Amino acid sequence: MMSNKDNIPKQKVLTIDDDNDFETFLQLNTHRILNGRKFLNDNETKYILPSDKKEINREAMSYSIRQHLFQKHFFSPVEEKLKMRANVLDIGCGAGFWVVDVGLDYPSSSFIGIDIDSTRFPSNDRHPPNVGFLECNITHGIPFPPETFDFVHMSMLCCALTESQWHQLVKEIVRVLKFEGWVEFVEGDPWFKNCGKLGKFMIENTLEVSKKKGINLNIHTMIPKFIGSMNELRDLEYFNVEYPLGEWGGCLGKYVIANIRKAAEGIVYLQKHLGLSTKEYDALLTKHLKELNENKAIGFYHRYYARKTHNS
């Protein structure tokens, strides 16, 4: 009698961060390996960055940078609600850095982080009891009843959704948002001020690669339009911050440039698009980052928030 193991097609052994063979097999069914990096294996997912330990570490770095720049977790006027008892949703929570931090600050409220890749969620001993996590594909909708949440937060999903998916998601956010609830978006900007000739080349090619996957990295410019298309959303507010790229900007600038390099190393599609070997791509990144520092380049983060004023 043939066992289930005998029915499994033989695969080339691929090395990822986990040494456990069984877990590696499971991950290979949900993820694919490209240039030594692990990506989510889902045809509907457009995310252009990896889903592995290296990317989680980079996300932690990126989150720390944003916290330093904005100096607070949110701009929406919801603090009094959070001090009492509120329901909060973090969409595309990743490894849960934001939702865990805010959950610790406001123990009376309940927080849920949702993401398509549950392998990145923190273990139960690494988040407070008022914070939970749920695996779901937000392109299929938000799996909660209408008017569930007082506050919905969404950060850095420019690499994950098409414009039409963004528009549909905003509709879903309005559906699950309570009357007088707030929604807040935080996104980066693919363009840098004083980026230089090589910087322009790198950014334009990154935009082109992303566009081929249906991703608009300039989606931050569309967020006001998405919000404006919903009659229920009012009181739109906008805030942005700028940051230095390179050693000229001190410790922050060094930290930022290291984060940019790690992100660029993760966009393996760009290396393939440029037709470069790993060594050639690495050399190109070094020149690119050197130019950003010499030009005293500036980057930007954008923040939008709005209130639901009446039910749909």
SS3 labels along 91-139 = ECCCCCHHHHHHHHHCCCCEEEEEECCHHHCCCHHHCCCCEEEEECCHH
Residue-level pLDDT at 42: 72
**According to the model, what pLDDT value does residue 227 have?**
97
> Is there a domain that residue 85 lies in?
yes
Does position 130 have pLDDT exceeding 70, yes or no? Answer: yes
Q: Do 89 and 200 have their domain in common?
A: yes
Three-state DSSP state, 38: strand
Are residue 20 and residue 75 in the same domain, yes or no? Answer: no
Indicate the average pLDDT of the chain: 89
Residue 24 has pLDDT above 70, yes or no: no
Burial class (CB in 10 A: 0-12, 13-18, 19+), 134: middle
Residues 36 and 57 in one domain: no
pLDDT at 257 over 80: yes
Same domain, 163 and 215: yes
Length, in residues, of the chain: 312
Q: Looking at the structure, do residues 216 and 261 belong to the same domain, yes or no?
A: yes
User: Does residue 157 sit in the same domain as residue 12?
Assistant: no
Please check whether residues 80 and 164 belong to one and the same domain: yes
Structural domain that includes position 129? 53-308
pLDDT at 304 over 80: yes
Would residue 285 count as lying in a domain?
yes
- Give yes or no for residue 7 having a pLDDT over 60: no
Within a domain: 191: yes
- Mean pLDDT, residues 131-136: 97
User: For the segment 167-187, what is each residue's pLDDT rounded down to a tens digit?
Assistant: 999 999 999 999 999 999 999
Say if residue 1's pLDDT is above 80: no
Determine, yes or no, domain membership for 48: no
The token pair that represents 295 in the structure block: 């030009």
pLDDT of residue 312: 54
The arithmetic mean of pLDDT across residues 285-299, rounded, is 98
pLDDT reported for residue 65: 97
Say what the pLDDT of residue 28 is. Answer: 55
Q: Do 132 and 13 belong to one domain?
A: no
Look up the pTM and report it. 0.87
> Do 59 and 29 share a domain, yes or no?
no
To the nearest 5 percent, what fractions of the chain are helix, strand and coil?
Answer: 45, 20, 35
For the stretch 178-234, pLDDT in tens is: 999 999 999 999 999 999 999 999 999 999 999 998 999 999 999 999 999 999 999
Distances (CA, A) of 16 to 45, 57, 99, 267, 277: 21, 15, 27, 17, 20
| Continuous segment of H or E residues that includes residue 35 | none
Confidence of residue 35 (pLDDT cuts 50, 70, 90): confident
User: Is there a domain that residue 125 lies in?
Assistant: yes
Domain assignment present for residue 47? The answer is: no
Same domain? 26 vs 57: no
Contacts of 100-103 with CB under 8 Å at 24 or more apart are 100/126, 100/127, 100/128, 100/131, 101/73, 102/73, 102/74, 103/127, 103/128, 103/130, 103/131
pLDDT band at 31; cut points 50, 70, 90: confident
40 pLDDT band (50/70/90 cuts)? confident
pLDDT exceeds 50 at position 26: no
155 & 111 share domain? yes
73: which residues sit within 8 A by CB, 6+ positions away? 67, 98, 101, 102, 105
Report the alpha-carbon angle 8-9-14, nearest 5.
105
45 in a structural domain = no
Residues 12, 124, single domain; the answer is no
Overall domain count for the chain: 2
